[in-house]
Chain A
Amino acid sequence: MKTLRPITFMLVLAMVAMLSMQIAAQDSVTLRILVHQNPSMVTFMEEFNEEFEEANPNISIDMAVVNANDLGTVTQTRLAAGDVDIVSTTAGFSNSVQDYMEGANPPGWQVLIENGLLYDMSGQPFLENYDPVSYQDAGSFGDGIYSISLGRTVYSGIFYNKDMFEEFDIEVPTVWDELVAACETITEEGIGCMTAGGADGWPIFVGAYGILGSLFPDQAGYTEGLWTGDIRYDDEENLVMWERMQIYARDMMERGASGVPGDAAPGRFASGAVAMFPGGSWYAPAIEDADPDFDWGYIPFPGSDVEEDNLAWFGKYDQGWMVAADSPNIEAAMTYLTAFSETENYQEFVNAVGFIPTQPDVTLDTQLGEELTPYLDNFIVGWEQYWVTPTGAGQFALPYASFFAPFNEFDDPAELAARAQSDLQAGLDEVFGTE
């Protein structure tokens, strides 16, 4: 009997311990988050997640990072599988089907909302931290708010090496001819003029969006004009665009740019391998991380002959948070977004990733902010956020510089212009039933 008491005591103790663990397990949640590969953003998120877990011991964060090219696909499949709680978008709620877009398929985010996969965050207190215009423009559908936009980005600028410009006595170009001359000066010195993360595909043509924007500043109108036939890829004005895109792809891009991984391009620029780096403002933190002493500037891509046409930024609402409607961790997700949206945390996020803030009390306190400010009042949502390709259109029905050699098969701007229009017209004929 005496020997039974310690045994009984230990058994009871074990049972109590197991019960406590079970109760604790029931209270603790794992919040699953999906983001895309942006090194500075991922670094910030990892640090933020660690602090959040310390402040909220019952919530652990499981963050998955995927290549930006795969984000849309992985988001939709993981939402479909019920395998994620918080997801992100990199283009806001853009590419809506406009009235003139006959037969167009709705964008992916709209399909997710209409199928009840995204959580309506209307009425959440943290929304008050944000500029209402931002989530109306980039996060609303119908009467609901399904995404909070974390910032805008510019994708029509060029980073330039200030030291190299000074060394070769190059003035910052303000018009197209000056940019061409600057590139010629640099390449004569045996240095590549520009680079881009060509291995990822999209950086080559996104780098040339400044040419598109400066020649066609009414980007929404450009989209509509292509659809209605008022604008053609093979008209005189577009031919200028194609000619300049060819020069950009063939002469300005360094040899081998097609093989540079997207993550490596900022470092390559900061190393002095090239003088300029056309790309999105989101690269600024990575450039600074590569070399904190590197002296760089960021200017609008001077794609036009007229200086006044080169004073705008073209870009998009970038990353936004969305929550899975069937997530079993809605409360934890709201706690997470509340913490993220606190002014102090959001300020740190914005400085880390280089976004133009969507909270009115937050400013971009970095060199990027200084570079963007002179033209910030001329921020224009870019063509890419409006465009929906007509059903039946060919694959070249897009204003992409990457269609030119050495990246693709076209050597002649007029030939590409004709092909682009032909491919587009095939789709327009198909949806409008015309010939």
Chain B
Amino acid sequence: MIYPFGEGRQRWIPYLLVVPGLLLYFMIALGPSLATSLYSFTDASGTPGGEVNWIGLDNYDEFLFAGQAALDNIDALERTIIFSVVVSSMQFGLGLIVAILLTQGLPGTRFFRTLFFMPVILGAVIQGLIWRLFLYPLGGPLSTFLEQFGMYSEFLGGQDAFWWVVVVQIWANMGITMVIFIAGLQTIPEELYEAAQIDGASSLDSFRYITWPMLTPAVNTNLILNIIGSLQAWILFLVLIGYRPGTQVLGYIIYAQGFGATGASNAPLRQGFAAAASIVLFIIVLIVGLTTQYLLRRREERLLG
């Protein structure tokens, strides 16, 4: 095979062209990740000039095994998994349904496509503000509606707060799932549906034997993004309900410990400890992500050859 990039010094061109990207990746992604790994074995507070001592696995020991606090961390992990499962599945399902509807050529398609995607571009703070106003228990829109039926809820201030964050998370990100599915649906040749119709296939048959298999790349992309994104999500918890016992997810614990935001008076920064917690979360996300990717790739090969 002829080397496409020439001979002599020209052979180095592709490697040189990759260097800037690699440097950027190292500075922004790989470098901080390696630094976090090292930090996790220290008692670093994160304050510049502060003494940093190597403490080995002490942070991991505290996070996973030290007293009730460790059990609370495990509870947070369980909550994170529940959050991820519910958000991923509902966001996936709703995104698919909406995408199918918006590719039928119905009136108002462009308007609704924009409407459903708008939350994605708002950002977490605006998303949170909108929902805090909507869920205001003293005369907010939903509160007023429920009162007509003699019902009441504290919403974000009550015991259902966690599930309201699930709702907001789905609302905030469903637009991305929808857009990816729309792109996937638009690549399916119309002729396949026409041929199926001629053969007497129903709508359900068309979906099951044409749409679903042909959407495999989009399905895989959405599942990976939804699962990994929801496992790491925490900002809406910060904006909507704050650091409240019994509601935190792992990502929020990492932030709170790292930046002294646990609500305690004069709480110290503990970035070495937070780094250890983030490595634990990374390992979980890595295992789940790789497993999901493997299973999805096998499915893709089976369906599409």
Task: Verify if B67 is at the interface (C-beta below 8 Å from A).
Answer: yes
Q: Contacting A430 at CB < 8 Å: which of B48, B66, B155, B244?
A: B66
Are A91 and B266 in contact (CB-based, < 8 A)?
yes
Q: A169-199: which have CB < 8 Å to B?
A: 198-199
Are B137 and A73 in contact (CB-based, < 8 A)?
no
Are A201 and B69 in contact (CB-based, < 8 A)?
no
Task: Report the Cα distance A198→B157, complex, angstroms.
Answer: 7
Are B50 and A114 in contact (CB-based, < 8 A)?
yes
- Assess A72 versus B266: contact at CB under 8 Å? Given A77-B259, A111-B47, A259-B140: yes
Query: Mask for B115-154, Cβ within 8 A of A = 1, else 0?
Result: 0000000000000000010011110100100000000101
Chain B residues within an 8 Å CB radius of A257: 157
Are B159 and A408 in contact (CB-based, < 8 A)?
yes
Query: Mask for A397-435, Cβ within 8 A of B = 1, else 0?
Result: 100001101111100000000000011001101100000
Task: Report the Cα distance A255→B157, complex, angstroms.
Answer: 10
- Assess A201 versus B242: contact at CB under 8 Å? Given A395-B69, A406-B158: yes
Task: Report the Cα distance A395→B243, complex, angstroms.
Answer: 11
Are A389 and B245 in contact (CB-based, < 8 A)?
no
Task: Report the Cα distance A409→B264, complex, angstroms.
Answer: 20
Are A70 and B261 in contact (CB-based, < 8 A)?
yes
Task: Verify if B260 is at the interface (C-beta below 8 Å from A).
Answer: yes
Task: Verify if A117 is at the interface (C-beta below 8 Å from B).
Answer: yes
Q: B249-264: which have CB < 8 Å to A?
A: 259-261, 263-264
Are B242 and A395 in contact (CB-based, < 8 A)?
no
The B contact surface, by secondary structure, is: loop
Task: Report the Cα distance A322→B68, complex, angstroms.
Answer: 36
Task: Report the Cα distance A107→B228, complex, angstroms.
Answer: 35
Task: Verify if A234 is at the interface (C-beta below 8 Å from B).
Answer: no
Task: Verify if B71 is at the interface (C-beta below 8 Å from A).
Answer: yes
Task: Verify if A115 is at the interface (C-beta below 8 Å from B).
Answer: yes
Q: Contacting B267 at CB < 8 Å: which of A108, A200, A385, A391?
A: A108
Are A259 and B62 in contact (CB-based, < 8 A)?
no
Q: A369-415: which have CB < 8 Å to B?
A: 384-385, 387, 389, 391-397, 402-403, 405-409
Q: How far is the CB of B134 from chain A (nearest CB, A)?
A: 11
- Assess A256 versus B154: contact at CB under 8 Å? Given A69-B242, A405-B159: yes
Task: Verify if A246 is at the interface (C-beta below 8 Å from B).
Answer: no
Chain A residues within an 8 Å CB radius of B266: 72, 91, 94-95, 107-109
Q: How far is the CB of B259 from chain A (nearest CB, A)?
A: 4
- Assess A395 versus B246: contact at CB under 8 Å? Given A202-B263, A259-B157: yes
Are B69 and A426 in contact (CB-based, < 8 A)?
yes
Q: How far is the CB of B252 from chain A (nearest CB, A)?
A: 12
- Assess A394 versus B72: contact at CB under 8 Å? Given A112-B47, A259-B136, A408-B245: yes
Task: Verify if B102 is at the interface (C-beta below 8 Å from A).
Answer: no
With both beta carbons as reference points, the residue of chain B lying nearest to A200 in the complex is identified as B242
Interface size classification for chain B: 35 or more
A-B contact count (CB 8 A): 157
Are B242 and A111 in contact (CB-based, < 8 A)?
no
Task: Report the Cα distance A393→B69, complex, angstroms.
Answer: 5
Q: B22-80: which have CB < 8 Å to A?
A: 45-50, 62, 66-72
Q: How far is the CB of B128 from chain A (nearest CB, A)?
A: 11
Q: How far is the CB of B149 from chain A (nearest CB, A)?
A: 16
Task: Verify if A105 is at the interface (C-beta below 8 Å from B).
Answer: yes
Q: Contacting B47 at CB < 8 Å: which of A80, A94, A198, A426?
A: A80
Task: Report the Cα distance A79→B264, complex, angstroms.
Answer: 20
Chain B residues within an 8 Å CB radius of A255: 137-138, 152, 154
Task: Report the Cα distance A193→B157, complex, angstroms.
Answer: 18
Task: Verify if B186 is at the interface (C-beta below 8 Å from A).
Answer: no
With both beta carbons as reference points, the residue of chain A lying nearest to B255 in the complex is identified as A73
Name the residue among B50, B72, B136, B138 with the largest chain A CB count within 10 angstroms: B138
Chain B residues within an 8 Å CB radius of A408: 159, 244-246
Task: Report the Cα distance A109→B263, complex, angstroms.
Answer: 15
Task: Verify if A258 is at the interface (C-beta below 8 Å from B).
Answer: yes
Task: Verify if B87 is at the interface (C-beta below 8 Å from A).
Answer: no
Task: Verify if A260 is at the interface (C-beta below 8 Å from B).
Answer: yes
Are A105 and B268 in contact (CB-based, < 8 A)?
yes
Are A258 and B156 in contact (CB-based, < 8 A)?
yes
Query: Mask for A298-309, Cβ within 8 A of B = 1, else 0?
Result: 000000000000
Task: Report the Cα distance A114→B48, complex, angstroms.
Answer: 11
Are A201 and B243 in contact (CB-based, < 8 A)?
yes
Task: Verify if A76 is at the interface (C-beta below 8 Å from B).
Answer: yes
Task: Verify if A106 is at the interface (C-beta below 8 Å from B).
Answer: yes
Task: Report the Cα distance A110→B155, complex, angstroms.
Answer: 38
Are B49 and A116 in contact (CB-based, < 8 A)?
yes
Chain A residues within an 8 Å CB radius of B47: 76, 79-80, 111-112, 115, 117
Task: Report the Cα distance A391→B158, complex, angstroms.
Answer: 28
Q: How far is the CB of A411 from chain B (nearest CB, A)?
A: 10
12 more A-B residue pairs beyond the given contacts A201-B241, A389-B264, A408-B244, with a C-beta to C-beta distance below 8 A: A72-B266, A95-B265, A106-B268, A107-B266, A201-B244, A258-B155, A259-B135, A391-B62, A391-B69, A392-B69, A395-B245, A409-B159
